[in-house]
Structure 1
């Protein structure tokens, strides 16, 4: 009796196992035939152009760009899109810009753009950055005026660092206007201590435990969990697609939780942003510079379900308290899918189109201040 029941259960188990294997094989075949492999991974973060600065030398700055440095990165294509090469060149003054004189030319109206990797232009050519796309828009609006827009963005910096950078380096450029390009990451990073016992979101712990990444990684030294996952992903299109989708969901959830945590009222991050804004405001008043803050949105939920509305509201309120003009650039990008505006499928930095849309919107916002300064 027991033996016959065991045999029946064994037969059922074998049939279910065979059906599962067949289903997986058919799914693997379908994924391969449909060409559903995820896009290749974008280049890993490059730090060869970053120069870490000591607190004794330039307090609060943290790091800068290496003057005279240059590096080329290849962004793999996907589908009908071919590979794309981006060359990052840092001029002799330490900015990702064409060469320009440190002393402001006579008769020039000089605008400097402070910010992080979005302002710097990670993943895109120099001419696609927002600073460069602002130039023709302002030239058209103010014919005959000599208006410079200089890209002073440094990847991986927050508002506090940008305030220190303005004070200790950028002020030498004699700007007439400071455009601070704020982002959701400004309440995290260098100099912001979130206290003992802070744990990363559970989603981030799952990403590490499962060895998930944004794409196939070619590297000699990888954590064991990533090595195991990579071995399976290289031979199975289905596993590669499943791991990619799992990473997108878990990592996106992790970012959402982390950034919202950083922007909680009176959090260390919010206090740091407020201090940085105060420093920039004071510098602008002392030197007679115009100041305008623009917040570039996180590329998600642009269809009306934007996840960081409350956080952008806190930035707006801080600017209002300081009597600093503020522009949220979200309306400029609404109606587009995030994938249309990303520098790469695995990289949420804005592409040339996103910067063009933002520049057009921002030009309208800053034009009245420029007109007043130019006496027009």
Structure 2
């Protein structure tokens, strides 16, 4: 009987040891930051941002990228992500201006793969004389949108004005907060020597932290934030009328847990405000909900929408806006 009892812990130890060896051979380690060291380089007409190879994807070193492993961001005379200067509007020119944050800007996406570039290229192939101006800014929110509109877009006479809304325009969180902010909770001594235990602890910490982060984000949807968004929408509508522009709003989902999405009610609130003001809009949650979130991340640990997501944006917007030119 004693021998049989001793077999149980022995078998468990052997299984543990086998798993330990396996995970060491696999080379598991917590994912490092998306960008390592000095990632920005100033260039005459833009900046270069290079990905950490440990979390990167083959996309960044593909044949179409002149700067393998990196993303080049054009910066034109107005500070926009366009590889040409913006001047007075020429006769017969159709001008589309896009304002938003990093999701709209195409952060982590090669310029030719952003939906703005794709729209301009397609419309030009169809014979339209058109400019699609990417006036979005990383980390922008409602105050920055107003500044961009009043200081840079005003006077450009856009025929179509596209505004990209992220949920952090109505709630409080960083774009990649859910997956980047991981709290270390288990300080077990064995964790320092066992890769298997470290992997188990990290997995638990990531799950618990994401739940805590989601709750914090949901709790930030206050009446004051909703009222600020409603006020912004009214100002946006008035701006488009003054500029004689067709206004179109796009709403981005958070690219996390799209299979069992946590923020549907927030989309419903945003959509309701836009609908009540009679604003033409498209909520991209309907295009991504139920999909695998990680398929649309720019890197293994950054949930900004990648080139696949921008292709979806393009497909929808091309159909929605083709009659506006």
- Give the TM-score of the pair, scaled to structure 1: 0.70
CA drift at 1:294: 0.6
Task: List alignment gaps of at least 5 residues for structure 1.
Answer: 1-11, 50-65, 191-200, 212-224, 372-376
Structure-1 residue corresponding to 2:144: 161
| 1:111–1:175 contact (8 Å) kept in structure 2 | yes
Q: Indicate which of 105, 112, 116 corresponds to 1:120.
A: 105
Deviation per CA, 1:7-61, whole angstroms, max 9, x where unpaired? xxxxx9x999988766543322121334555554311698969xxxxxxxxxxxx
- What is the DSSP-based 3-state SS (H/G/I as helix, E as strand, rest coil) of the residue aligned with 1:100? coil
Counterparts of 1:167-182 in structure 2 under 5 Å? Answer: 167-182=150-165
CA drift at 1:75: 3.6
Structure-1 residue corresponding to 2:185: 210
Q: Indicate which of 273, 283, 289 corresponds to 2:239.
A: 283
How many pairs does the alignment contain?
310
Structure-2 residue corresponding to 1:110: 95
Structure-1 residue corresponding to 2:66: none
Deviation per CA, 1:306-349, whole angstroms, max 9, x where unpaired? 22211111111111121111101123335641111110110000
Structure 1 pair 74/237, CA: closer, same or farther in 2 (3 Å)?
same
- What is the DSSP-based 3-state SS (H/G/I as helix, E as strand, rest coil) of the residue aligned with 1:136? helix
Structure-1 residue corresponding to 2:307: 352
**Which structure has the bigger radius of gyration?**
1
Structure 1 pair 257/45, CA: closer, same or farther in 2 (3 Å)?
farther
Q: Indicate which of 263, 267, 278 corresponds to 1:312.
A: 267
- What is the DSSP-based 3-state SS (H/G/I as helix, E as strand, rest coil) of the residue aligned with 1:119? helix
Q: Indicate which of 211, 228, 231 corresponds to 1:272.
A: 228
Structure-1 residue corresponding to 2:254: 298
Residues 1:259 and 2:217 aligned together: yes
Q: Which moved more, 1:82-91 or 1:342-351?
A: 82-91
Residues 1:72 and 2:49 aligned together: yes
| 1:67–1:92 contact (8 Å) kept in structure 2 | no
Counterparts of 1:1-376 in structure 2 under 5 Å? Answer: 24-37=16-29, 39-43=31-35, 69-77=46-54, 81=58, 84-139=69-124, 143-188=126-171, 207-208=182-183, 210=185, 236-264=194-222, 266=223, 268-303=224-259, 305-334=260-289, 336-368=291-323, 370-371=324-325
- Give the TM-score of the pair, scaled to structure 2: 0.80
Distance between the aligned counterparts of 2:107 and 2:37, measured in 1?
9
- What is the DSSP-based 3-state SS (H/G/I as helix, E as strand, rest coil) of the residue aligned with 1:298? coil
CA drift at 1:136: 3.3
- What is the DSSP-based 3-state SS (H/G/I as helix, E as strand, rest coil) of the residue aligned with 1:364? helix
CA drift at 1:115: 0.7
CA drift at 1:209: 5.1
Runs of 4+ in structure 1 off by over 6 angstroms are 14-21, 44-49
Distance between the aligned counterparts of 2:87 and 2:212, measured in 1?
42
Distance between the aligned counterparts of 2:239 and 2:211, measured in 1?
38
CA drift at 1:240: 4.8
Distance between the aligned counterparts of 2:93 and 2:198, measured in 1?
54
CA drift at 1:179: 0.4
CA drift at 1:167: 1.3
Deviation per CA, 1:253-286, whole angstroms, max 9, x where unpaired? 234223322335x2x2222222222211111111
Distance between the aligned counterparts of 1:45 and 1:317, measured in 2?
43
| 2:20–2:195 contact (8 Å) kept in structure 1 | yes
